[in-house]
Amino acid sequence: MAEQNARRWLTYDTPHTDLRDFLDRADRAGELLHLSGVHWDLEMGALAEAASRRRAGGRALLMDEIPGYPKGFRVLSGGTNSLRRLALLLGFAEPVSPMDVVRAYRNRMKEHQPIPPRVVKSGPVLENVMRNGDVDLYRFPVPRIHESDGGRYIGTDDIVIMRDPDEDWVNCATYRIMVHGKDHTGLWMSPGKQGRLIMEKYFAMGKPCPVLVSCGHDPLLFLAGNQSIRYGLSEYDYAGGHRGAPIDVILSELHRLPMPAHAEVVLEGEIRPGDNLAEGPFGEFTGYYASPQSQAPVIRVKRVYHRNDPILSMATPMRPPSNYSLAKCIITAGMIWDDIERSGLVGVRGVWVHEPGASRMFNVVSVKQAYAGHSRHAGMLAASSQTVAYMGRFTVVVDEDVDPADVSDVIWAMSTRCDPDADIDIVRNMWSSPLDPVIPPGAKAMHSNRAIIDACRPYERLKDFPKVARASPEMLARVSAKFSDILDKV
């Protein structure tokens, strides 16, 4: 049935209700593969890696009948990591190319209005509640993803929910959560990240930091929590704006923090000043174990809320591609495009973020040059945009005749239109992270440098720059139609 529906595209008048509703829609579109018998210890992570490398943007994996766990306790891999599933989630038309989704996202952002969450009194997340001594995180099939990981990670495709004590807004961001024991976890947050800044505010007041961790939820929340949204804008509001309707939330028992009413699993606890344990190592999105095991804050879990037959969602950071990197590239590209246009720059024809650049470290902007310095202006804006301020590395600017999503096209432009001495600028001491493999272990200052590569034809030579040797689009289309039977065999 799934194979028969492989190219079926359904449209819906209303947004999906929750993760399960979205998976039903993906299943009807032939975008979900049901598996059984995959072990939580390493097999899930390795299978997700093998699937990511075998077929970019392949079907999501929903794993059930996990050895040692009840049937129905499931783990999801790659929920939105295809063009079709991402477009389905966001309510876009069926895409043909990655740039279709990027353009649709960028067009939406021109009119996007945040929608605050709606507080409700009940929801499926309250079907089961573990309290105090009954808390046992090992009741869930928490995966150990990589062979050299320091433990099992319940939080990878998660959102960590905190309330700013000064400004009274709620941040929902993705940070890694390692299980230390049945009722406590580790929490690793890079310096400068919003959640860490909020936690440090509580510590400065001598108070513990209340926290929720959602480990399975509407994929829109992971897309929001995994991006660099401006400080003070709640990911609930941002996701609601894309959903076109508010996210329903329930106030938690202990700290009255808002948790998704339709979440699969939510942990509630607090982080106390000075309460640290050894966390990691963990294979990260750069493709390295760049940050060694270190002392990290501990979440003391006092409540676990979960649905019947819960679904944990799993992201597998690793040497790219991963089971979420395509989706991240598409959303990040749309956000960069939006950042550039909001600054007032015109002429952008496309933006792409390349998976081999760890979905944030090799970014390409295509522009139609209108004035001298236009391409350099675009490069500076892209390299310093809020979206890629954290751990950026290379920004390449190309002309409008170059497809920013085609790495061969980009390298060709770099090789033939860029003079290394004149067209590469270095911006020094930008925001980075312990996860950056070029930063030496133990470094106190987490900053790195950026390269802006102008791979456009010089503006003053646009009219006399050598002509590109290739057939015209019209000729290619005519020949492709005339000899389609031959080309199908090539």
d(CA 444, CA 427): 20
| Nearest of 383, 411, 412, 378 to residue 397 by alpha carbon | 378
Does the pLDDT at position 97 exceed 60? yes
* Domain finish residue from 312, 328, 354: 312
d(CA 161, CA 268): 9
What per-residue confidence (pLDDT) applies to 3? 43
Using one digit for the tens of pLDDT, what is the confidence trace for 125-181? 999 999 999 999 999 999 999 999 999 999 999 999 999 999 999 999 999 999 999
337 is a domain residue: no
Mean pLDDT of the chain: 94
Enclosing domain of residue 257: 118-312
396 is a domain residue: yes
d(CA 151, CA 146): 9
Q: What are phi and psi of 459, to 5 degrees?
A: -55, -40
358 in the same domain as 263: no
190 in the same domain as 254: yes
Element (H, E) at 116: none
Instruction: Kindly report the CATH number assigned to the domain that includes residue 411.
Output: 3.40.1670.10
151 is a domain residue: yes
Does the pLDDT at position 446 exceed 60? yes
Percent of the chain at pLDDT above 90?
Answer: 87
489 is a domain residue: no
Instruction: Kindly report the CATH number assigned to the domain that includes residue 128.
Output: 2.30.110.10
Q: Which residues pair with 424 in a beta bridge?
A: 453
Strand 128-131 versus strand 118-119 pairing type: unpaired
* Domain finish residue from 109, 129, 164: 109
46 in the same domain as 152: no
300 in the same domain as 154: yes
103 in the same domain as 151: no
197, HSE (Cβ side, Cα atoms, 13 Å): 12
CB 320 within 8 Å of CB 339: no
Does the pLDDT at position 228 exceed 90? no
481 is a domain residue: no
Structure confidence at residue 333 as a pLDDT band (50, 70, 90): very high
Give every CB contact of residue 162 below 8 A, 6+ residues apart in sequence: 170, 171, 195, 198, 199, 209, 210, 211, 212, 257
192 in the same domain as 136: yes
269 in the same domain as 144: yes
* Tokens found for residue 50: 């093998």
CB 267 within 8 Å of CB 131: no
Structure confidence at residue 4 as a pLDDT band (50, 70, 90): very low
* Tokens found for residue 472: 């015209």
Q: Which residue do the tokens 């500076």 mark?
A: 380
d(CA 391, CA 394): 10
210 is a domain residue: yes
Q: At what angle do helices 98-109 and 325-342 cross, to 10 degrees?
A: 40
* Tokens found for residue 440: 């030496």
3-state secondary structure of 448: strand
Using one digit for the tens of pLDDT, what is the confidence trace for 187-198? 999 999 999 999
| Nearest of 286, 336, 307 to residue 437 by alpha carbon | 286
Strand locations in 39-82, DSSP E? Answer: 60-64, 74-77
Number of domains in the chain: 3
What per-residue confidence (pLDDT) applies to 253? 98
d(CA 345, CA 348): 8
45 is a domain residue: yes
* Tokens found for residue 8: 């079926």
* Tokens found for residue 245: 């309707």
Give, in order, the Cα–Cα distances in Å from 458 to each of 217, 371, 455: 48, 10, 9
9 is a domain residue: no
DSSP string, 390-419: SS--EEEEEETTS-TT-HHHHHHHHHHH--
Encoded amino acid at 140, one letter: F
What per-residue confidence (pLDDT) applies to 443? 81
Mean pLDDT for 217-240 is: 94
186 in the same domain as 54: no
381 in the same domain as 297: no
What per-residue confidence (pLDDT) applies to 137? 98
Using one digit for the tens of pLDDT, what is the confidence trace for 370-407? 999 999 999 999 999 988 888 899 999 999 999 999 99
280 in the same domain as 197: yes
124 in the same domain as 76: no
* Domain finish residue from 91, 109, 127: 109
Structure confidence at residue 248 as a pLDDT band (50, 70, 90): very high
153 in the same domain as 214: yes
